[in-house]
Structure 1
Amino acid sequence: MEEVDNKALVVATSDREDFISAGPFHLSVVDWDNENHRRSVAASLVAGVYILERDRQENRNAQHALAPLWWEFFNFRLIRHLVDDVDHSIFGAVYEYELKTSPQSNNSDKGIPHYIIAFRGTLTQKGSVTRDIELDLHLVQHGLHNTTRTRMAIQAVRDVVASSQNRNVWLAGHSLGAAMAILAGKEMAIMGTFLESFFFNPPFFSAPLESIKDERVKHGIRIAGSVITAGLAFAMSVKKPQQKSRSVETFSSLSSWVPNIYVHPGDHICSEYIGYFQHREKMEKLGVGAIEKLATQHSLGGLMMTAFGKQAEPSHLLPSACLTINMAHAIDLKKAHALQQWWKPESEVNFKTQAFLYS
C-alpha cells in the first residue's frame, strides 16, 4: 500500500512540474502587448527556477529534466543559474530571448524582454527547506538584505543590466523570491534604472486585516496604525534628522518605478498590499494624507529594530505599484499563494488591476 501511495505522489509531483500538464500551454502565440500574456510568461519563467532546483534534487539529467520547456516554449534560453552559497540550491536564473523566427512569438514587437531575471520562493523539500526557512526568518525580521543569497541576487541583476546595452530587462519573483527581487529592483531604481517587474505573492508581514469583513472596523484599525507608525517615525526623526532625510530621499527616488504586484485576498502572506495602497487613497480623501505619507514609508517592526540599533530594510514598502488582485475564491491558503494562478487563460481568471502612484 505504501508503495502505491509513493508512486501516486511521484506522478502528482511530475504533473505539477511538467509544462504541458501544468503550464500555459495555451499561449501558442505570445502577444507582448497583452498584459495577460506578459504576466503568464514572467510567472512561467519563475516556475522554471523552482523546477530547475527540483531537477537538481531529483537528479533528473538533461534527458529527463522538466525545467527547460518552461522557458524554451517562449523562445528563451537559460544563460545562468544562481546557486546559494550555503546549501548549493538553485534560487534564481537569468534567461535570454533568442532572436529568431518562432511560432510562439512576434519578434517585431519592441516589448519583448531581452533578458528576464527570475527568483523562486521557498521549497519544502529537504534539499532546500532549511536554508529557505532561515531566509524567511530574516525576511520577517527585515534583515533579508543582509543575507548572502540576496547580495548574490542583487549583484546578478546589476551585472545583467550593465551588460544589456540598454535592452529590455525584466525582473520577476514569487514569494521569498519576490521579496529578493523587490530589493534588487529598489537598488536599481535608486540608481535611476527602472526595470519592468513582476512580483507574485510578495510577502507583506502585518496583521491579516484583509480578513476582517467589516470595512469600518478595518479602516479604523488602519487609521490607528497609521497614526502610531507616523508618530513613532516622527519621534525618531527628531533624534536622528540625517537618517530621516536619507529615508525620505530614498523612498521618493523609488516613486517613478511602478512594479507589477500580484496578490490574492485569501493569501495572508501578501494580502496586506491591498490595504497598504488602498488605505493611502482613503487617507488622502479624509484630508490626512500627510500622516499616511509618512506612515507608508515605515513599518512598526522596522522602526522598532532601528530603535534597538539594528539595520532594518522592510522589503515590502513601495511608493508606487500596479496592483493586480485575483478576485477568484481560493479554497485554502496554499492555492491562494500558488504561482500557478497567474498563468491561467484569460477566460478562467477574474483579475482587478489598479495603479497607485506616489506623489
Structure 2
Amino acid sequence: MANSSGEVQEVQIVMVQEEEAHPYAFHVSGPRNVASPNWRDLISSSWKNENYKRTVFSCFIQAVYLLEDDRQENRTEENALAPNWWRSFKYKLTQTLIDERDGSIFGAVLEWDRTAALADMVLIRPSGAPKAVLALRGTILKGPTIRRDIEDDLRFLAWESLKGSVRFKVALEALRSVAEMYGSSNVCVAGHSLGAGFALQVGKALAKEGMFVEAHLFNPPSVSMAMSLRNMGERAGFAWKRFKSMLPSSSETQAITDDDREKANTAGLRNWIPLLGLKTSMGLKNWVPNLYVNNSDYICCSYTDGDGTEDKEADKENTGSANRQVAAKLFVMSKGKQKFLEAHGLEQWWSDDVQLQQALHNSKLMSRQLKSLYTFPASQPTQRTPQT
C-alpha cells in the first residue's frame, strides 16, 4: 500500500515538473511585465491601455491553441497548460467550441471570474474589461487537426469566405449568445490567423444585425484566389482607362471617360460612405475592428495596401480630420524584415519589445471586405436587456 501511494506521489511530481518545464507554460513563454488585476485597477484600469488589451487577447488565443494541445496530449487538470493563460487575468473558461468533424477544440468563451477577482480584492470588474471574450485559434499542423484546419484554409483561399464551414456556424452562435446575454458592448471576439478570419466574418455577421462587438484580429489572412482575380480585373480596367485617355478626345468620349472614372472611384471606402446614408455611417462608427499585421508575413501583409494611388491626398487629410471614417484600426509591426514563422507567430503580440505603428490610411482589402455591411441597410438593433 505504501509503495502504491509513493508511486502516485512520484507520478504527480513528474507531471508538475513537466508542466513547469514546458516551453508553452505561461510562466515560461507568457508576457513578462503584465501584472494580474488588483485593487489598483479600480482606480486606474489596465484595460484602458491598448498595449494591455492586445497582450491579454493574444494570451487568450494562445490558451485556445493549448486547449487543443492539452486534449491531444491527454493532459489532466493537474498538468494542463491552457488554464494559466486565462486565470492570470481573472477569467474563467465557460465554453469550448468543438469541430464536430474531428472533435478538435477551435475556440473558447472566457468570462470574467468574479470569485477569483474578489480573492485578490478586486471588488468589481475594472472599467473596459469585457464580461466575455470569444477566442479563436488558427491552424495547427499536427495529425489530429491538420485536415480540417487546412480544409478551412483552402476554403478561404478559394472563396475569401468561411461561411461554408461548420466552425463559422458554431462561432457565430457562441458570439451571438454572449452578446445577447451581456450586451454587445461588453463582449469581444479575438482570433489569430485562420481564427482571425473567422472572428472577422462572425463579427461582421453580427454587425449586420446591429450588434457591434469589439474585434481584435492578429495576422488575419489576406491572400485568396478571389482577391487575386479581382486585382487582375482592376489592373485590366486601369490599363483600359489609360489606353482610352490616350485616344483623340472629343466632348462625347471625354464625358464617358469622366463617368467611368467616377464609377471607379466609388470602389474606395472614402467615396462610398457618403452615398449610403445615415444608417451606414452609424454602422461604421460602431464597428471598427482592430487588426495587427506584420509586413514580413505574406499571409496578412495585403491589409497594409492603401485604398489606391488616388487616395494619397485623402491620407493626408486623415491626419488632420477627426471626422474621417476608417474601415479598421490597423497596427503594423515595425521591427523590419523577419522570417515568416516569426512574423506570423502569435507570441510577438505579447512581447515586451513589440514595436507598432498605427496606419493612417484606409486598408483597401478591409474596405472591400466590409463594404457589404454598408451596401445594404443593416438590420435595426433589437432591444435586449443585458444581464448585469
Q: Distance in 1 between matches of 2:139 and 2:23?
A: 16
- Rate the CA distance shift 1:205–1:252 in 2: closer, same or farther, 3 A: farther
Q: Distance in 2 between matches of 1:73 and 1:255?
A: 34
2:359 equivalent in structure 1: 354
Q: Distance in 2 between matches of 1:321 and 1:107?
A: 31
* CA-atom RMSD in angstroms: 3.6
Q: Distance in 1 between matches of 2:233 and 2:357?
A: 22
Conserved in 2, the CA contact under 8 Å of 1:15 and 1:22?
no
Matched ranges for 1:209-288 at <5 A: 224=235, 227=238, 255-256=284-285, 257-275=287-305, 279-280=306-307, 282-285=309-312
Conserved in 2, the CA contact under 8 Å of 1:82 and 1:90?
yes
Q: TM-score, normalised by structure 2?
A: 0.66
Give the SS at the match of 2:53: helix
Per-residue Cα deviation, 1:309-330 (whole angstroms, up to 9, x for no partner): xxxxxxxxx9610000111135
Q: Distance in 2 between matches of 1:356 and 1:163?
A: 36
1:136 equivalent in structure 2: 153
1:47 equivalent in structure 2: 62
1:189 equivalent in structure 2: 207
2:341 equivalent in structure 1: 334
Matched ranges for 1:116-127 at <5 A: 116-127=133-144
Could you tell me the percent identity over the aligned residues? 34
CA apart distance, 1:155: 1.2
Q: Distance in 2 between matches of 1:226 and 1:137?
A: 28
Aligned amino acid, residue 174 of structure 1: H
Q: Distance in 2 between matches of 1:114 and 1:49?
A: 18
Give the SS at the match of 2:23: helix
- Rate the CA distance shift 1:108–1:155 in 2: closer, same or farther, 3 A: closer
Conserved in 2, the CA contact under 8 Å of 1:264 and 1:325?
yes
- Rate the CA distance shift 1:121–1:13 in 2: closer, same or farther, 3 A: farther
Matched ranges for 1:106-121 at <5 A: 107=124, 109-121=126-138
Conserved in 2, the CA contact under 8 Å of 1:29 and 1:105?
no
Aligned amino acid, residue 196 of structure 1: E
- Rate the CA distance shift 1:106–1:140 in 2: closer, same or farther, 3 A: farther
2:107 equivalent in structure 1: 92
CA apart distance, 1:67: 0.4
Specify every segment of 5 or more residues in structure 1 that has no aligned partner in the other structure, as ranges: 1-10, 208-220, 236-247, 288-317
Conserved in 1, the CA contact under 8 Å of 2:19 and 2:79?
no
Which sits farther off after the overlay, 328-337 or 40-49?
328-337
Conserved in 2, the CA contact under 8 Å of 1:322 and 1:356?
no
Of 179, 186, 200, the residue aligned with 1:168 is 186
Give the SS at the match of 2:204: helix
Matched ranges for 1:270-349 at <5 A: 270-275=300-305, 279-280=306-307, 282-285=309-312, 320-345=327-352, 348-349=353-354
Per-residue Cα deviation, 1:246-305 (whole angstroms, up to 9, x for no partner): xx8998775331111000010000011001xxx226423468xxxxxxxxxxxxxxxxxx
Give the SS at the match of 2:307: helix
Conserved in 2, the CA contact under 8 Å of 1:189 and 1:253?
no
Alignment: residue pair count: 290
Aligned amino acid, residue 224 of structure 1: R
Of 33, 38, 41, the residue aligned with 1:26 is 33
From the CA coordinates, give the structure whose radius of gyration is larger.
Answer: 2
Aligned amino acid, residue 156 of structure 1: A
- Rate the CA distance shift 1:253–1:166 in 2: closer, same or farther, 3 A: closer
Specify every segment of 5 or more residues in structure 2 that has no aligned partner in the other structure, as ranges: 1-17, 38-45, 226-231, 242-259, 265-275, 315-324, 368-373, 375-388
Per-residue Cα deviation, 1:95-137 (whole angstroms, up to 9, x for no partner): 0012333659794632011000000000011110111001100
Conserved in 1, the CA contact under 8 Å of 2:19 and 2:81?
no
- Rate the CA distance shift 1:201–1:124 in 2: closer, same or farther, 3 A: same
CA apart distance, 1:149: 1.2
